[in-house]
Structure 1
């Protein structure tokens, strides 16, 4: 099981979401984020002078892929939908997922009694 984390341009969010849905990806989380990478920022000039915005708005997409063999398809789909060919298109990271718990089906495990460590 893997987690695919993609950071993409906000204007590409809808295209990426639709492309993933078309490929059968049903569960995903989208979060607005700010950050910077090779696209160091945006310089603006006005009557007052120049100023730099060095934190760029992006959207983080998180997808847990249960079948590792489907990860390349998810990556290809994101890249095709998000690519503009310019700096700032984003990044994709693939991380291992140890386990996943469906909260609605969770049941607590029996609590183990604390052991007496005082030596009595």
Structure 2
């Protein structure tokens, strides 16, 4: 199994969610987060004054999937979330040792 963490721009969330649903992804966890990468934040103008925003708002997706879908999930997120601009985000893929559905005690891929 794979545990995929993706940090994307907030306005791309619905497109990515819809594309993953079409792949057969039945669930994910979504969190609003802030952070910065190479762009080191951004400069904005508010009421005529320029100020620096050190933390950029992003959306974090967490998806557990079986090994067969893992690569396709990454490819889908990458293609749909891309704007070809700085700050598009990152995708991290980890091996998932175990999953347990609390209600039924199912384990492994059956728990997903």
What interval of TM-score do these two structures reach, taking the shorter chain for normalisation? 0.7 to 0.9
**TM-score of the superposed pair, with normalisation by structure 1:** 0.81
Tell me the distance in 2 between the aligned counterparts of 1:47 and 1:27: 41
User: Structure 1: which 5+ runs fail to align?
Assistant: 107-120
Could you say which residue in structure 1 is the equivalent of 2:90? 91
CA displacement at 1:46 relative to structure 2:
4.9
Deviation digits for residues 75-116 of structure 1, max 9, x if unmatched? 11101110000011000000111111111124xxxxxxxxxx
User: Aligned residue for 2:71?
Assistant: 72
Runs of 4+ with >4 A deviation = none
Q: Is the strand fraction higher in 1 or 2?
A: 2
For the residues of structure 1 that align with 2:13 and 2:27, how far apart are their CA atoms? 15
What displacement does 1:2 show? 1.1
Sort the Cα spacing of 1:64 and 1:44 in 2 relative to 1 into closer, same or farther, 3 A.
Answer: same
* Alignment match, 1:17: 17
Q: Structure 1, residues 16-47: CA drift from partner, whole Å, max 9, x if none?
A: 00000011111211111111112211112356
Structure 2 length normalisation: TM-score? 0.86
Who is 1:52 aligned against?
Answer: 52
Distance 2:93 2:59 in 1: 16
For the aligned residue pairs, the C-alpha RMSD in angstroms reads 1.4
SS in 1 for 2:85: coil
Range 32-41 or range 45-54, more displaced: 45-54
27 and 48 in structure 1: CA distance in 2 versus 1, 3 angstrom threshold? closer
- In 1, the alpha carbon distance for the partners of 2:85 and 2:32 equals 20
